[in-house]
Structure 1
Amino acid sequence: MSWWCFPFEHLIGTPQKINTNDHIGGMMEATIIKAVTHSANICHWLHQPDCPESVRQLKPMKGPRHAHAKWDSVNFSCYSMHASNTTIIYRPSQTERPIRGQIQDIISISTSNEFTVQLCVRHFECLSKLLYDPFVHYPYLLATTYSSELQEKVDAINLDDIVAHAAHFNYSLDRTVLVNLSRD
């Protein structure tokens, strides 16, 4: 629960989409392996320096928006795609202390001759002083209660500004518990 299964589903779906020409038995496996080999050879050729530039330009280009971004071997996604991989702990600037937020969008920004990935993040409101945080007595759990409301202001951050991946659970109408999933 709360883990992204898309890579596994994608892996299972790929062989199902291969055209087998209605062959069964040994002929079907041969057809599948030929299709996989052909696509792998084409992909390899497109990455070679001797591939003509006109063919290289025919490769599909991604738009400015992304469904996910990988950083420090952790996969992050925007809230509209997969809510479980959106909660992070980040620093909007080097001088500020880390805050908890939710990724709303992932976009590519063109700077001079390269592309950089930026995350559009809204951070969680602090818990009202009138509400009790039951996790305050367990500092080693790395869990903190916040308001379930997100601020309207959107911070545009780079992947380097991420301090840790986090998990969140809305356990009441106005409270959310956030757990730091840092490996350190």
Structure 2
Amino acid sequence: MTVERASSYRGFLKQWVDGLTVHHPHTQHHAKRPNIHVAFHIYDFLLLFGPVISWWCFPFERVIGYLQKIHTTNRVGGELEGILTRSFLRGASLRRWLRRSDCPEVIKQFKAMFDRAFSPRTDSDSPPLAKDGERAHYTFNGANFSRASTHLGNSLILYYPSHSAITPIPGSIENIVCEGGTTTFSVRPHEVLPPGKMDPFLRYHPYLPATTYSSEMQPTTHKISPSMVLSHCARFEFSDDRAVILNLARSQCTLVC
């Protein structure tokens, strides 16, 4: 995070606020809300704490989700907090013990089972299929990919169409095929923005990793390996023939994420 990036955030926000009543006249009659005022203070937090990804609430929500899965045997009051705390500490102590050099080998053999039960987010890949064929999901380096017919969101990716390509393009995974221990994605790419069409997100580069493409897909597909995928992406069709693609790679999580 830099002063330039934080100032750009505040400048873009003010530009949006100044144009709000112009482009949406009905907002002139809306009651004033504190959200916009609070949003301007994000500028101060960016300078104090750095990129938003360092202090947003998702890690805390993940911990809450973990605590919600702990069996409490319907206890209430102070007993409930005690059960949650003891369960969390026991799990942390066990994970620490499993990492010790003097941990018995027989216990280490159960670590994979323990990780699968209590640490679902890993960097492992999906195990090979018993026989060749298509699959609905595939996990690579901890990221879950799906074919579009199974889960459209998990099928949207930014990828390199060839090993020599230096610029990733957006597309949707149509099929995931495993053959001889090798997994291949069949990806249908987005059409580029037609000539004469404006990309309204261009003014926000490089602060917002969003680019406008045609909402149509190309008639051809690319066969790629999972290693050629840069990241997932988000897609929103904001007009009849245009869709904005947002890069979801962690390296692109800037001040606006």
Unpaired stretches in structure 1, ≥5 consecutive residues = 1-7, 13-43, 45-59
Task: Give 1:72 shift.
Answer: 2.1
**Matched residue, 2:21:** none
Task: Give 1:132 shift.
Answer: 1.0
Is 1:181 equivalent to 2:244 in the alignment? no
- Choose the corresponding residue for 2:177, options 101, 107, 117: 107
Structure whose residues are more often strand by fraction:
1
Query: What is the TM-score with the length of structure 1 in the denominator?
Result: 0.63
Task: Give 1:159 shift.
Answer: 0.4
- Choose the corresponding residue for 1:172, options 218, 239, 252: 239
Structure whose residues are more often helix by fraction:
2
Unpaired stretches in structure 2, ≥5 consecutive residues = 1-64, 70-112, 114-128, 252-257
Identity of aligned residues (%): 39
**Matched residue, 2:57:** none
- The aligned amino acid for 2:177 is I
**Matched residue, 1:131:** 197
Sort the Cα spacing of 1:170 and 1:62 in 2 relative to 1 into closer, same or farther, 3 A. farther
**Matched residue, 1:159:** 226
- The aligned amino acid for 2:153 is S
Number of aligned residue pairs: 124
Is 1:67 equivalent to 2:133 in the alignment? no
Distance in 1 (CA, whole Å) between partners of 2:154 and 2:137 is: 9
Distance in 1 (CA, whole Å) between partners of 2:210 and 2:225 is: 25
3-state SS of paired residue (1:160): helix
Structure of higher CA gyration radius: 2
**Matched residue, 2:184:** 118
Is 1:93 equivalent to 2:162 in the alignment? yes
